[in-house]
């Protein structure tokens, strides 16, 4: 580290390139838009919004240390920190403080570590559940009221009921409502009289921070958890086989969903989404439980395989993508689903819960949109990836680990989401029997370079002056080599590049999908068992020629008269049918099956049905003769079925029009009794292929490098100017980012320091003033000017500021 | 990927590839907990049901063994959800136990207590309206008193709500009575011995054996094990006589020790054979012969043909939970779907052997099943087409187009003991006339029936025409040809019984023949298809031939 700093800005200006890169990587929001120079980078790093983001991303260990640094006060001794944290593991604490410094939540001054001014604001008054300091609660109180020894002595004298009341407030909240009547009132009064509680309003009291700390015996947290809790995992076997099986089933479910919705698309609700009834119908046809069904539906939607078709009466229909998807290789099909799932912000487990509206949340509806689920999903997968291959985590310990990573999230919501993600991974085949599968690992791989551990290690090599490798190793204990490193995890990572990842994922999964079989086993009870997924041609034949009775690794088909008839209807002859079965079957074809086919074939076609779209009937046969003979009517391809009936494959309306044109006077007869030949329409909505999305280049190392280079260049220019300025009297005031100005003014208020400002008046002329700012609020600065008068300056008119030297 | 013989489907069926080298090991591993649903020639289907899993728990298997069996033999990865479900289901068994506990204040008194290791389970079951009244005083958080008379009903209801109770209350020994097997000139076959052991070890339960495999002897074996007074419940009088004859022949019991309790005779002896019918006879709205159940301190109750057990007997049986109960049947399939009642009131399945296995061991005859299709003459087709739906089956199955076929078949098998089995009396009489054979129907007197059976047995007559009275428990050791001309719609149970008629081993190891004659393109053929599916599922492949080819 270079020269000791006097402020965050100084600290940041003093950092090396590598450290700056680490800072920006840890807090990507600083890079957007690119700051002009290091000063504005520093100012931005100190804004409340940015600090808030950084603090929210802290894990429990880092948060606890940060709280300790705040409570310990500026430039506190390391031993004070250790005491507050109740640990003697200085190495771990140092490393965490180093992390906090690296992400600019703490800056190093001449005298020691300081928290960035906005951090306490972000943490709020109740840091770690402690109340505000005595001095803040009651500025008039004498300092001895805050003296720990006095407090300890007073507490020791406290009557039992008073001490019980204190104990209830010890671990927060450090506020209480005064009981309305005795005896509670009396109890509280004793405490108030002895300055262990401080009244904040007529009926509320607060426990001052100093008292709280004494009651906590000097410790800040009930339990200090600087290192992540271990994930208990047990080894499981056959992970990939199980995942392959699940993946294969998942593909089947999506296929079936597409088939069901292609034939009979459900309506889109007015508020968006799928009605409860339609979901239930889908559930019946997929034969799954409700949550699993919702998952399949949302998965297909996320992958762009089903969508709102956008018609006047909109329906959920398979998109045109589905045909391409269906015909591609199984591994690729799976990869498409898995990548879509990973990037999806939809949370199927919320389906059926009470939504924002009156009813329960509908599948595909707006209430199921929950962006946080994507981050949770990725975090869960990262934790899974951190385990040894082939080990399945104990759910409770995994939930605990994630709660440790995200101390700011509601535990109940997080736990529920984690369980849901684990269930979904299992259904999808990302995990098998609880452990991450090989394909799952390939899917997560692109996320891993951004893992905190990796970044932490790099930072150690680059700028870790304070941290020895030994200490880092100590921190890594019980962590299986992952995850404990940096406290700052950026939540917004750009999705991995879909194409390349998908290839790898597809390849990884292909190996474990059950390999297709080319034979079936036909039995005397007219069932045929396909002991695995069937190869294409045979598969479609069996789906046509037999009914599916049971699904899973194998498929059981049953030949029934109806199914045989279906095949004959589709153009198979009895001989072809029997021959195909004979060729595909590893077992002799049972005689009753041949008999069945022959029997159905015998009856097949006894009644004939043609595909006419319209008929013409007339009691006057001569009219019909005329029509048949008419050259103009040949395009209608009229055919005589009976002396008084003609049929045509043309649409009735066309028929009527054309006959009228030719001098006949036909009447349209309505639909009764007509046989309309129509294939079931398969609806397709327009493609909803998600484009590459808004082009956001990731805040990665090369980008950051460029950025830092730019900052350095700007800094050099500024230095140049500074040198020039020294030749002239008075400070030169550079035009500054208002954020920088504000933070400088705030610093000046705090340090009671004079500031030179550039101020533009109503005519646009800029003047210089040396002021002593007293308060910054509401876009105005109250300050005393050179003459000692109090004046108010609009912040937006201040062109720049510099501290009085 | 493991190359096992088993494929575990997500719908909880297990497909077992029979020709696989490890098929036998896999079968042994899954048999304790999975029900054999279909056993056609190549791939057998088992199903995992909660009942089956609880059966396995009752027999001392745990979830780990089940999961291990599935994983070891499975070709593909077993769906994890299924494994979890298996473990969960098996875990439900035994949370509740029925025990008999001594009373502290009265030394000789005992009471029946429903105990749990898991309080929420007890709270849950006690909230059911049907269960609450069956229990009495709440002892503590984990136990509640049960009225002794409600032991069976309680078990039945608990099973319905998915918390089967393990019955540890034990059995009364009953009044002792010396019974031994008289194995001078015969021996129990190994599988019969296994069945007896399996039953005795478990205390109560059902033994499933194909017709002709000697279920009566399993009953006798169980009696010899119990050495106590025994009540045997059978379907009808003929069957009662046969039990009696068989017991006199195979055991040390004498004629005086065996009583018959039927419509005709009301004897109560150390071993009493009663018919279902007499027990369910109502007089003035009350069951007149219920006292029989308490007439003696029975040590063992044997239910023949459990799958036919009428519902009232179930209710009576609910009160007999303290006595050992043995159910005998060829199939647990009940057309009324009350398999769960059999499980909770009589007991879990204790022994089961696939038909084909026993056939392979030579204890039952191999059978050749043939369906002969006759075409109705045009006149009858027309009559059939315009007939009322309820008349159709009768019209189709009684077609006289079948007669020449029957004659032809009888001629082909001349000299072999042949049964012609049908449903409709007119048709049977007509056939009998054409064949010159005797008819046995419900109207035939017991004495006449016995005479005809005896004559048939010794070979004096080779052809008998019988109605459905012959469906159950008649013992015709040498019948080797059965011709089925009409049946009770699509009853699979009946098909099993009829096939059983010819499956008893033949002296000369001949193949048995089982013909079904059906009218083409009618409901007769549809019903036949249903019954044949059952045959095929039992492993009996069948052929279809045209009547024209035959004649």
Residues B513, B481 share a domain:
yes
The verdict on B3 touching A (C-beta cutoff 8 Å) is no
The verdict on A552 touching B (C-beta cutoff 8 Å) is yes
- Inter-chain residue contact A249 with B542, CB threshold 8 Å: no
Residues A445, A323 share a domain:
yes
- Of the candidates B1, B10, B533, which has its C-beta nearest A241's C-beta? B1
**Closest chain A residue to B544, measured at CA:** A592
Q: Is residue A179 part of a domain?
A: yes
- Inter-chain residue contact A238 with B41, CB threshold 8 Å: no
Handedness of CA A353, A355, A360, A363 (dihedral sign): negative
The verdict on B72 touching A (C-beta cutoff 8 Å) is no
- Inter-chain residue contact A245 with B76, CB threshold 8 Å: yes
Maximal CA-CA distance, chain B? 84
- Inter-chain residue contact A529 with B11, CB threshold 8 Å: no
Residues A263, A367 share a domain:
yes
Mean pLDDT by 10 residues, chain A (805 residues): 65 85 85 79 85 86 87 80 83 88 86 84 76 77 78 81 80 75 72 80 80 81 83 84 86 85 87 89 85 93 90 89 84 91 90 75 87 89 88 89 85 88 92 88 77 37 36 36 39 53 84 84 88 79 84 85 88 90 89 89 80 82 85 82 84 82 78 49 68 64 83 76 54 74 83 82 77 83 82 85 78
Q: Is residue A710 part of a domain?
A: no
The residue from B44, B74, B92 where one domain ends is B92
As for how many domains chain A has, the answer is: 5
The verdict on A249 touching B (C-beta cutoff 8 Å) is yes
- Inter-chain residue contact A514 with B1, CB threshold 8 Å: yes
Residues B105, B54 share a domain:
no
**Closest chain A residue to B537, measured at CA:** A525
Which residues in chain B are contacts of A287 at CB distance < 8 A?
A: 11
Q: Is residue B112 part of a domain?
A: yes
d(CA B259, CA B248): 12
Residues A506, A527 share a domain:
no
Q: Is residue A721 part of a domain?
A: no
A118 and A47 Cβ atoms separated by less than 8 Å = yes
φ, ψ of residue B60 in degrees (nearest 5): 95, 10
Which residues in chain B are contacts of A515 at CB distance < 8 A?
A: 1
- Inter-chain residue contact A550 with B76, CB threshold 8 Å: no
Q: For the beta carbon of residue A276, count every other beta carbon within 10 angstroms.
A: 16
pLDDT at position A486 is 39
Residues A267, A192 share a domain:
no
d(CA A95, CA A475): 8
CATH number at residue A769: 2.30.30.100
Residues B210, B115 share a domain:
no
Q: Is residue B181 part of a domain?
A: no
Q: How near does any CA of chain B get to the CA of A244, in Å? A: 8
Catalogue the E-assigned strands of A572-673: 614-617, 639-642, 645-648
Residues B48, B87 share a domain:
yes
The verdict on A514 touching B (C-beta cutoff 8 Å) is yes
Which residues in chain A are contacts of B17 at CB distance < 8 A?
A: 521, 531
Catalogue the E-assigned strands of A268-351: 306-308, 316-318
- Of the candidates B7, B10, B11, which has its C-beta nearest A531's C-beta? B7
**Closest chain A residue to B84, measured at CA:** A433
The whole domain housing A623 covers 614-661
Q: How near does any CA of chain B get to the CA of A595, in Å? A: 7
User: Which residue of A239, A431, A553, A559 to mutate against B (max B Cβ within 10 Å)?
Assistant: A553
Residues B408, B507 share a domain:
yes
- Of the candidates B8, B40, B532, which has its C-beta nearest A553's C-beta? B8
Residues B204, B151 share a domain:
no
- Inter-chain residue contact B77 with A241, CB threshold 8 Å: yes
The verdict on B386 touching A (C-beta cutoff 8 Å) is no
- Inter-chain residue contact A525 with B10, CB threshold 8 Å: no
The verdict on B17 touching A (C-beta cutoff 8 Å) is yes
Residues A336, A270 share a domain:
yes
Residues B546, B399 share a domain:
yes
Q: For the beta carbon of residue A164, count every other beta carbon within 10 angstroms.
A: 11
Residues B354, B380 share a domain:
no
Residues A599, A621 share a domain:
no
Q: Is residue A564 part of a domain?
A: yes
φ, ψ of residue A617 in degrees (nearest 5): -125, 145
The residue from A215, A249, A271 where one domain ends is A215
Which residues in chain B are contacts of A521 at CB distance < 8 A?
A: 17, 42-43
Residues B341, B375 share a domain:
no
- For residue A368, what is the DSSP state? G
Residues B153, B235 share a domain:
no
Residues A534, A567 share a domain:
yes
B541 and A534 Cβ atoms separated by less than 8 Å = no
CATH number at residue B327: 3.40.50.300
The residue from A568, A584, A603 where one domain ends is A603
- Inter-chain residue contact B79 with A529, CB threshold 8 Å: no
A313 and A298 Cβ atoms separated by less than 8 Å = no
Residue B216: which of B200, B195, B202 has the closest Cα? B195
**Chain A, window 185-244: residues with a beta carbon less than 8 angstroms from a chain B beta carbon:** 238, 241-244
**Closest chain B residue to A599, measured at CA:** B521
Q: How near does any CA of chain A get to the CA of B537, in Å? A: 6
Residues A425, A343 share a domain:
yes
Handedness of CA B478, B480, B486, B492 (dihedral sign): positive
The residue from A510, A542, A564 where one domain ends is A510
A20 and A12 Cβ atoms separated by less than 8 Å = yes
Predicted confidence (pLDDT) at residue B195 exceeds the cutoff of 50: yes
* Number of inter-chain CB pairs under 8 A, A vs B: 110
Q: Is residue A301 part of a domain?
A: yes
Give the helix ranges, DSSP H, for B205-319. 215-226, 237-250, 276-280, 291-295, 311-317
Of these ranges, A254-268, B26-40, B507-521, the one predicted with the greatest mean pLDDT is A254-268
ipTM of the complex: 0.78
How crowded is the C-beta side of A49, counted as CA atoms within 13 Å? 6
- Of the candidates B43, B71, B544, which has its C-beta nearest A592's C-beta? B544
Three-point CA angle B407, B413, B416, nearest 5°: 125
Residues B125, B69 share a domain:
no
Q: Is residue A79 part of a domain?
A: no
- Inter-chain residue contact B38 with A525, CB threshold 8 Å: yes
Q: Is residue B174 part of a domain?
A: no
CATH number at residue B124: 3.30.70
- Inter-chain residue contact B41 with A242, CB threshold 8 Å: no
pLDDT at position A18 is 86
- For residue A352, what is the DSSP state? T
The verdict on B521 touching A (C-beta cutoff 8 Å) is yes
The verdict on B18 touching A (C-beta cutoff 8 Å) is no
d(CA A166, CA A727): 64
The residue from B359, B380, B405 where one domain ends is B359
Predicted confidence (pLDDT) at residue B298 exceeds the cutoff of 70: yes
Q: Is residue A41 part of a domain?
A: no
Residues A566, A493 share a domain:
no
As for how many domains chain B has, the answer is: 4
**Chain A, window 273-312: residues with a beta carbon less than 8 angstroms from a chain B beta carbon:** 287
The residue from B324, B359, B394 where one domain ends is B359
Q: How near does any CA of chain B get to the CA of A569, in Å? A: 20
Residues A327, A434 share a domain:
yes
Q: Is residue B180 part of a domain?
A: no
Higher model confidence: residue A228 or residue B360? A228
Residues B343, B227 share a domain:
yes
Q: Is residue A374 part of a domain?
A: yes
Residues A368, A260 share a domain:
yes
pLDDT at position A300 is 94
The whole domain housing B536 covers 365-550
How crowded is the C-beta side of A536, counted as CA atoms within 13 Å? 5
Residues A455, A488 share a domain:
yes
Q: How near does any CA of chain B get to the CA of A566, in Å? A: 18
pLDDT at position B472 is 56
Q: Is residue B184 part of a domain?
A: no
């Amino acid at each position: 580290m270079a020269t000791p700093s006097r402020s965050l800005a100084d600290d940041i200006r003093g950092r090396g390139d590598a450290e700056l890169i680490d800072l920006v990587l840890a807090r990507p929001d600083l890079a957007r838009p690119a700051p002009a120079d290091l000063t504005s980078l520093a100012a931005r790093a100190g804004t409340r919004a940015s600090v808030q983001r950084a603090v929210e991303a802290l894990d429990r260990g880092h948060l606890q240390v940060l709280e300790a640094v705040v409570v310990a006060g500026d430039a506190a001794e390391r031993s004070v920190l250790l005491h507050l944290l109740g640990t003697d593991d200085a190495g771990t604490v140092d490393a965490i403080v180093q992390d906090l410094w690296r992400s600019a939540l703490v800056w190093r001054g001449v005298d020691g570590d300081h928290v960035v001014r906005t951090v306490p604001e972000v943490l709020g008054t109740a840091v770690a559940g402690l109340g505000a300091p005595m001095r803040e609660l009651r500025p008039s109180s004498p300092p001895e009221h805050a003296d720990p020894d006095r407090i300890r002595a007073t507490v020791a004298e406290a009557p039992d009921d008073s001490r019980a009341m204190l104990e209830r407030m010890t671990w927060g909240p450090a506020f209480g409502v005064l009981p309305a009547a005795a005896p509670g009132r009396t109890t509280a009064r004793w405490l108030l009289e002895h300055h262990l509680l401080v009244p904040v309003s007529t009926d509320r009291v607060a426990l001052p921070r100093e008292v709280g700390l004494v009651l906590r015996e000097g410790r800040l947290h009930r339990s200090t958890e600087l290192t992540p809790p271990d994930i208990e995992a047990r080894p499981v076997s056959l992970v990939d086989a199980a995942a392959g099986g699940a993946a294969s089933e998942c593909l089947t479910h999506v296929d079936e969903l597409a088939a069901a919705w292609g034939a009979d698309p459900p309506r889109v609700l007015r508020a968006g989404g799928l009605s409860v009834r339609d979901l239930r119908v889908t559930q019946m046809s997929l034969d799954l439980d409700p949550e699993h069904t919702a998952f399949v539906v949302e998965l297909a939607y996320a992958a762009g395989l089903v969508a709102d078709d956008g018609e006047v009466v909109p329906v959920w229909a398979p998109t045109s993508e589905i045909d391409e998807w269906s015909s591609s290789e199984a591994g690729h099909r799976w990869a498409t689903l898995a990548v879509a799932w990973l990037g999806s912000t939809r949370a199927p487990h919320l389906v059926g819960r009470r939504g924002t509206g009156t009813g329960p949340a509908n599948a595909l509806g707006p209430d199921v949109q929950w962006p946080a689920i994507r981050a949770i999903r990725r975090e869960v997968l990262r934790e899974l990836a951190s385990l040894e291959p082939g080990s399945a985590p104990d759910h409770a310990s995994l939930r605990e680990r994630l709660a440790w990573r995200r101390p700011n999230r509601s535990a109940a919501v997080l736990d529920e989401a984690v369980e849901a993600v684990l269930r979904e991974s299992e259904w999808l085949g990302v995990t098998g029997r609880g452990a991450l599968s090989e394909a799952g690992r390939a899917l997560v791989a692109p996320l891993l370079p951004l893992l905190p551990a990796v970044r932490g290690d790099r930072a150690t090599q680059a700028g870790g002056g304070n941290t020895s490798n030994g200490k880092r190793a100590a921190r890594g204990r019980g962590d299986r080599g992952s995850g404990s490193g940096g406290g700052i995890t950026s939540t917004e990572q750009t999705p991995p590049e879909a194409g390349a990842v998908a290839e790898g994922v597809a390849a990884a999964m292909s190996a474990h999908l059950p390999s297709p079989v080319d034979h079936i086993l036909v039995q005397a009870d007219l069932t045929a068992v396909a002991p695995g997924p069937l190869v294409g041609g045979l598969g479609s034949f069996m789906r046509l020629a037999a009914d599916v009775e049971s699904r899973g690794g194998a498929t059981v088909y049953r030949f029934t008269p109806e199914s045989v008839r279906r095949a004959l209807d589709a153009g198979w002859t009895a001989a072809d049918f029997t021959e195909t079965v004979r060729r595909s079957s590893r077992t002799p074809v049972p005689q009753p099956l041949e008999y069945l086919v022959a029997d159905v074939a015998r009856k097949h076609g006894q009644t004939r049905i043609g595909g006419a779209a319209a008929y013409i009937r007339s009691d006057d046969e001569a009219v019909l003769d005329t029509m048949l003979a008419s050259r103009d009517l040949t395009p209608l391809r009229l055919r005589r079925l009976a002396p008084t009936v003609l049929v045509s494959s043309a649409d009735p309306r066309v028929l009527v029009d054309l006959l009228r044109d030719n001098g006949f006077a036909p009447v349209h007869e309505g639909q009764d009794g007509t046989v309309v030949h129509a294939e079931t329409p398969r609806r397709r909505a327009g493609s909803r292929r998600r484009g590459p999305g808004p082009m956001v280049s990731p805040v990665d190392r090369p980008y950051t490098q460029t950025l830092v280079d730019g900052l350095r260049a700007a800094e050099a220019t500024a230095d140049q100017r500074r040198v020039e300025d020294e030749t002239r009297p008075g400070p030169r005031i550079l035009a500054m980012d208002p954020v920088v100005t504000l933070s400088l003014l705030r610093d000046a208020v705090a340090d009671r320091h004079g500031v030179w400002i550039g101020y533009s008046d109503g005519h646009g002329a800029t003047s210089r003033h040396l002021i002593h700012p007293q308060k910054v609020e509401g876009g105005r600065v109250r300050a005393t000017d050179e003459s000692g008068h109090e004046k108010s300056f609009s912040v937006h008119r201040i062109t720049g500021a510099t501290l009085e030297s | 990927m493991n190359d096992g013989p088993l494929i575990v489907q997500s719908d909880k069926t297990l497909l077992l590839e029979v020709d696989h080298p490890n098929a036998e090991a896999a079968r042994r591993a899954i048999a304790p907990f999975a029900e054999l649903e279909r056993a056609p020639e190549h791939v057998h289907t088992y199903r995992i049901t909660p009942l089956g899993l609880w059966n396995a728990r009752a027999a001392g298997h745990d979830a780990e063994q089940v999961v291990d069996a599935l994983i070891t033999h499975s070709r593909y990865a077993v769906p994890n959800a299924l494994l979890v479900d298996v473990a969960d289901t098996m875990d439900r068994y035994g949370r509740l136990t029925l025990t008999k506990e001594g009373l502290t204040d009265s030394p000789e008194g005992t009471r029946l207590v429903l105990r749990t290791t898991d309080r929420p389970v007890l709270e849950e079951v006690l909230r059911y309206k049907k269960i609450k009244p069956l229990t009495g005083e709440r002892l503590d958080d984990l136990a509640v008193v049960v009225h002794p008379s409600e032991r069976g009903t309680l078990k039945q209801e608990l099973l319905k709500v998915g918390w089967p109770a393990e019955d540890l209350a034990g059995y009364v020994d009953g009044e002792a009575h010396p019974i031994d097997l008289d194995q001078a000139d015969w021996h129990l076959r190994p599988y019969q011995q296994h069945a007896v052991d399996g039953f005795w070890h478990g205390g109560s339960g059902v033994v499933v054996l194909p017709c002709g495999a000697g279920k009566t002897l399993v009953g006798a074996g169980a009696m010899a094990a119990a050495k106590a007074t025994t009540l045997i419940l059978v379907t009808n009088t003929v069957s009662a006589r046969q039990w009696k004859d068989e017991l006199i022949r195979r055991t040390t019991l004498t004629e005086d020790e065996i009583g018959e309790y039927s419509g005709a005779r009301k004897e109560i002896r150390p071993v009493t054979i009663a018919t279902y019918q007499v027990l369910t006879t109502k007089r003035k709205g009350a069951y007149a012969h219920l006292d029989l159940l308490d007439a003696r301190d029975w040590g063992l109750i044997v239910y023949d043909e459990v799958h036919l057990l009428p519902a009232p007997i179930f209710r009576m049986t609910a009160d007999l939970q303290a006595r050992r109960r043995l159910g005998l049947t060829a199939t647990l399939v009940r057309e009324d779907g009350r398999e769960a009642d059999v499980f909770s009131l009589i007991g879990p399945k204790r022994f089961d052997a696939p038909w084909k296995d026993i056939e392979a061991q030579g204890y039952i005859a191999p059978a050749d099943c043939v369906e002969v299709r006759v075409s109705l003459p045009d006149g009858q087709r027309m009559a059939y087409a315009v007939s009322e739906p309820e008349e159709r089956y009768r019209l189709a199955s009684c077609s006289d187009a079948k007669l020449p076929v029957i004659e032809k078949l009888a001629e082909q098998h001349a000299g072999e003991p042949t049964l012609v089995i049908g449903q409709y009396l007119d048709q049977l009489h007509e056939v009998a006339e054409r064949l010159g054979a005797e008819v046995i129907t419900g109207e035939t007197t017991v004495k006449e029936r016995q005479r005809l059976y005896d004559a048939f047995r010794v070979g004096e007559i080779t052809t008998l025409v019988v109605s459905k009275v012959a469906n159950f428990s008649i013992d015709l050791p040498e019948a080797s040809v059965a011709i089925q001309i009409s049946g009770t719609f699509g009853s699979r149970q009946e098909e099993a019984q009829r096939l059983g008629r010819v499956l008893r081993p033949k002296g000369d190891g001949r193949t048995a023949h089982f013909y079904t004659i059906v009218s083409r393109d009618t409901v007769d053929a549809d019903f036949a298809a249903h019954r044949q599916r059952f045959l095929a599922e039992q492993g009996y492949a069948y052929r279809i031939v045209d009547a024209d080819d035959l004649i």
